[in-house]
Amino acid sequence: MIRVTDVDVAYGDLQVLWDVSLEVRADDGVVALVGPNGAGKSTLLRAISGLVPVADGRIELFGEDAAALRPDEIVRRGFVQVPEERHLFDGMTVRENLRMGAYTRTDDPTATLRDVYDVFPVLEERATQAAGTLSGGEQQMLAIGRALMADPTVLALDELSVGLAPQLARRTFDTIADLSEELTVVLVEQHVDEALSMADRGYVLENGRIAASGTGEELLASDRVRSAYLG
């Protein structure tokens, strides 16, 4: 579905990614991107989303050259990202925020809204409440729910657990595991053990390059990964 080949990304004179190659396949449940802060994980998601240009290399999305697609067209093709910052509309209600997630669709999203409420019942309870008044955990649920309203094939989550209490983070990981039965999740996550334990495959980014790759199980067993990220 997604193939990244020898991709370089730079912000002006500052190069952030070097020769990055990876693949997200149709039979993947979870693909984890892990590594230290500043390694380029979020930049890679932004490049796939069409939000930053690729200086060299190629990104293919569902058989098409991503460079020829606008960000909204990438969403229509089925790649939807939840950024770390969430970017909710604080003054709008929960329901209005969710419906904004369906802006690229031409069909009736009512059934999808029902599905989102089934996944996150608290969003239905808070449907008429302003998004800015929700707790951090509820806002994360809303951000994910809004992305689901676009009916994605691939859901990319950037730093899913940031700011969440451990118990809530655990429940959120369980929800993502359930979602991965129906779609593919690309997960950028600071909790390396959680991410790799869920992952069919994973990639370790360090200093803008792919430092290691393999199944989640293989990476968890790697001495290099364990010493660097699992203590």
Residue range 79-114, pLDDT digits in tens:
999 998 889 999 999 999 999 999 999 999 999 999
pLDDT digits (tens, 9 = 90+) for 157-170: 999 888 888 888 88
Question: What parts of the chain have a pLDDT lower than 70?
Answer: 231
How far apart CA 130 and CA 172 sit, in angstroms, is 22
pTM reported for the whole predicted model: 0.93
Scanning 89-148, the segments in alpha helix (DSSP H) are: 94-100, 110-119, 121-125, 136-148
Residue 98's pLDDT is 98
48, two tokens: 């796939």
For the chain, which domains are there?
25-37+82-229 (3.40.50.300)
